[in-house]
Every structure is written in C-alpha cells, then in structure tokens.
A = this chain, B = another copy of it.
C-alpha cells in the first residue's frame, strides 16, 4: 500500500486544518500521520500529511486549491526513492557510509553516480557498482572545472546533489539551479568556524565541543538553511588532526540523518530555515 504525502504551506488563516482534512475525507483517504506548524514571526502555516487510498490526482489538487488561499504551495509526493549524485574530494567516511546504506536499501535514494576532483575514492565507489567520474580541477579555471562537473551531474538529472565532503567552493551559478536540492555536510557546528579547516580553527580556539552541520547550499558560503547538527566533546589532549578524526563519525551520521529527512519529504525550507516533521 503506497503512502502519499501532501505538503502544504501558505499564510495562516482560521480553519485551514478543517478545510484540508475535509478534502481528504471527501476523497475517502486515510490519514496515516498528520503534522501542522504555524510559524509565528510571519504567521505562515505548514502541514504535512501522510495518507493512503486511491484518488484522482487532478481532482484532489483542484479541491485543495479551492479551499486554500491563492498563495498556497501544494505538493503531492511520496516516499519513493530519490535519484542522487554525490560529489566528494578525498575523504571516504561520508561516502563509505552512504554507499553501505545504499547497498542495503537504507538510504531511500538511488546513487546514480559519484563525481570527484580526485581519484582517491574511485575504488571504493566501484566496489558498490556505482559509476565514478574523476574530473580533475588541475590546470583548469574554476569556471571550466565547474562547468564540467555540472555537465556530468546533469547527465543524470538527479533529484538531489549531495556534497559528501566536496572541498571546493561552488559559484552561485552552480548553486542556483539546485535550490533546496543541494545538500552539504560542513565539519563544524555552524555558524562557528565557517570556511576552510574548521577543525584547525576549533583547535586554535580551544573549544570543548566540535560538531557537524548538514545544510542546503545557497549562494553564501556555509549560510544555507540548516537541516541537522550534532556535536561531540573534545579536550586539550586532542590535536587538530585528532579532532578531525573524531569528527568524522559525527559528520557521517549527521549527513545520513539529514538525507533521510529530506528524501522522506519531512523538510520544508522557509526563509533560510528548515521546518522538520517526523
């Protein structure tokens, strides 16, 4: 029995839940789970409903539009596997974790390809029968390299692009077409330690916790909507390198957790923040 997911957001007004559930009742659909949230700063309404049953999509959407404000965004989707392309540089831990989950049907996604500016992770990727594209940046302008990478991605028309420790800064031109579809794992608890080498920054500052942040990428470096974060304690005995080693486990778990929520359609993006339903 397929589970359908209805995602609605619009300016808040009285009676929205009643109206929306009324449409579902009219179509004789069974609600599996239901979540609502009203953002109080801008008075914006969000609702996520999982339901089952047979329905005529065009009719259902039309009935919803009739009861909802004109500005409402209505999305009818499901939990079917998303198509993704993964970008990496040299570090194996996030990619390895995703490949294992993928191999055992835990990721709710099809990894169509892995693309890297180094060939270090080619062997690992191929073990799992996933195509690996080595696109070196050596001797190329940033623009030229990006254009190559973008072309390689586009050949797969993925739903999402995952930066699983891709160590190059992306231009706004690269990012724009993938609004809310480009997910990065940053190796710090943002907004601390933006940019390069956060573990060295953390060591230098003498912090007692380090962390990782999964976020959607926008045009500003490490400024996009945060999906998930976690931290682990560190102490004075750890060098920057040892912090980086310890941080790997946080990075891979935070990335996988954020991908699960995105691929299961649990995430709204609203004004540079995420709203998460579980």
Contact = CB atoms under 8 A, between A and B. Distances in A.
Interface of A: 14-15, 17-18, 21-22, 24-25, 28, 30-41, 92-93, 96-97, 100, 103-104, 106, 124, 127-128, 189-193, 205-209, 211, 225-231, 235-237, 239, 245, 249, 253, 256-257, 272-276, 278
Given A15-B25, A228-B208, A276-B236, A100 B96 contact: yes
Given A18-B21, A21-B15, A206 B274 contact: yes
B127 A237 contact: no
B236 A209 contact: no
Given A21-B17, A25-B14, A191 B193 contact: yes
A162 to B, nearest CB: 17
Nearest to A32: B38
A247 to B, nearest CB: 12
A127 B104 CA distance: 14
Nearest to A96: B100
Given A17-B21, A36-B34, A236-B37, A100 B103 contact: no
